[in-house]
Amino acid sequence: MSFDFSGKKVLVTGAGKGIGRGVAIALSESGCKVYALSRTKSTLDSLTEEYPSITPIVADLCDWEDTKKKIEKLEVLDGLVNNAGISAHDYAAVDCPRENICKVLDNNLLSAINCSQVIAKKMIEAKVKGSIVNVSSIGGLASFPNGLPYNISKAAMDMASKVFALELGPHGIRVNSVNPSLVMTPMIRELIQNGLPLDKTAVARSSMGRLLEMNEIVDPILYLLSDHSAMVTGQMHVVDGGLLCNITTKI
């Protein structure tokens, strides 16, 4: 399936690295006008040096009002990819402090709600049909140790996708989540380097026996942004190599 986003305009958050960067590049190469948002200027600089047509936006998504002001200045868009987020594996559930929970919810959930509100309102006012894709996780569907803040943030994001889909559908705006398992992004590599055996665990439980390549999550996101998914909304699109479909891969 090929994608043609010529004439389309899409905002991608967390676009400086990882999945967000991959999506921004793929959209740009498909003819889309891309707005790439990140809190880290240096990663945006390297992105726009490679792809000068991409418009960078430096913003801390945890600053609700500042982010709102910056994206309200944008033209009416056709799509939004809420990709920005952080991981958290520092505390057992019984020890996890309120500050840690709030930090993760702010980064992973509230930032996506804020961006969706602003972009969707502009679409509605201009009578533009479009698509919002929230990058969630299998962590919103199944728990793992020391993952309380992350797990609940992604589970809540999936429900936010459904609520937005219900209310925005009459305006021709679709909202979906993608729920990947491990993708070898810089964040995952850092967690593995810090001692979490995420790669070994995921490979052992996956019926496909490997981690996701970047294009294997970027392409599903592009599908949900595109007209190929014109009647798909309010869904969680799991991309996990069969990780969640089993109790064990061997008996």
| 234 within 8 A of 175, measured Cβ to Cβ | yes
As a whole number of angstroms, the distance between CA 14 and CA 48 comes to: 14
Buried b vs exposed e over 13-47: b needs ≥16 C-beta within 10 Å? bbbbbbbbbbbbbbbbebebbbbbbbbeeebbeeb
As a whole number of angstroms, the distance between CA 167 and CA 157 comes to: 15
Selecting among 51, 91, 150, 223, the annotated active-site residue is 150
The type of residue at 43 is T
Q: 150 catalytic, yes or no?
A: yes
CA 99 to chain centre: 23
Tokens of 213: 């390549």
As a whole number of angstroms, the distance between CA 109 and CA 57 comes to: 20
Tokens of 181: 């398992």
As a whole number of angstroms, the distance between CA 236 and CA 135 comes to: 10
Length of the chain (residues): 251
Residues classed as catalytic:
150
